Amino acid sequence: MKILLIEDDRELAESMKFQLEKEGYETDICDDGEEGLYYMKERSHDLVILDRMLPSMDGITVLQEARKNHVSTPVIMLTAKGGDMDKILGLEYGADDYISKPFNILEVKARIRAIIRRSMKAKRHKKEEPADKYIGAGDLKMDTEGRRVFIGEKEINLTAKEFDLLELLVRNPNKVYSREALLNYVWGNKAMDSGDVRTVDVHVRRLREKVEPVPSDPKFVHTKWGIGYYFAAK
């Protein structure tokens, strides 16, 4: 397994590389955002560990640009900021997990193993139950392999998590999901542990702003008051 570590603190990066390679993970290091983005787009890795604060390009921007370029590699964000909004931003723009500094390397290893398990489970599920490449309703169409979304002929740019959220809802029309269930399905167990369901509301709001003709009167992503959200084309 290959890991890309994007961290500008060289001493910390070398220490993490040593510990990860002891576990059998081949590890590459980048120490600035632009180089890290290049590696994410041009090199093949199974996991990226991405620092929030970087020279030349901050971690959130690196993540945004990578997801815009259809880089789907799982990302763990490292942040010295412990505020809820920083965590929500990371998850919103496509991070799969986050760890606040200072951290214990044992926690990092545990998070890596958890993401690997989820990734392998998802791949097995995809093989066992091949999904339709094109899904949608009305004038909303999704290319699930190319991870592209269209309203009529117009392509809509979604973040990785926005796409995952919409795909789950579209594949299960009229099924109402609680915010807790969506957090679990789309962001995984770590996000559930934090109990912060506000990130779901943020994503639904931004998703509506992108795919709905009138966001205040949704055509696709609807609210079941007091319960959660569901997909149905009017």
Q: Where are the domains of the chain?
A: 2-128, 134-231
134-231, CATH topology level = Arc Repressor Mutant, subunit A (1.10.10)
pLDDT tens sequence across 156-195: 998 888 999 999 999 999 999 998 889 888 877 555 455 5
The helix (run of H) or strand (run of E) holding residue 29 is strand 26-30
Predicted TM-score (pTM) of the model is 0.61
pLDDT tens sequence across 26-68: 999 999 999 999 999 999 899 999 999 899 999 999 998 998 8
CATH of segment(s) 2-128: 3.40.50.2300
Length of the chain: 234
Domains 2-128 and 134-231 agree in fold: no
Query: Assign residue 123 a region: left if phi > 0, alpha if psi is -120 to 50, beta otherwise?
Result: alpha
pLDDT category of residue 121 using cuts at 50, 70 and 90: low
- How confident is the model at residue 192, as a pLDDT? 47
Among residues 118, 104, 120, the alpha carbon closest in space to that of 190 is found at 118
Cis peptide before 102 (omega within 30 of 0): yes
Q: Are the CB atoms for 190 and 199 separated by under 8 Å? A: no
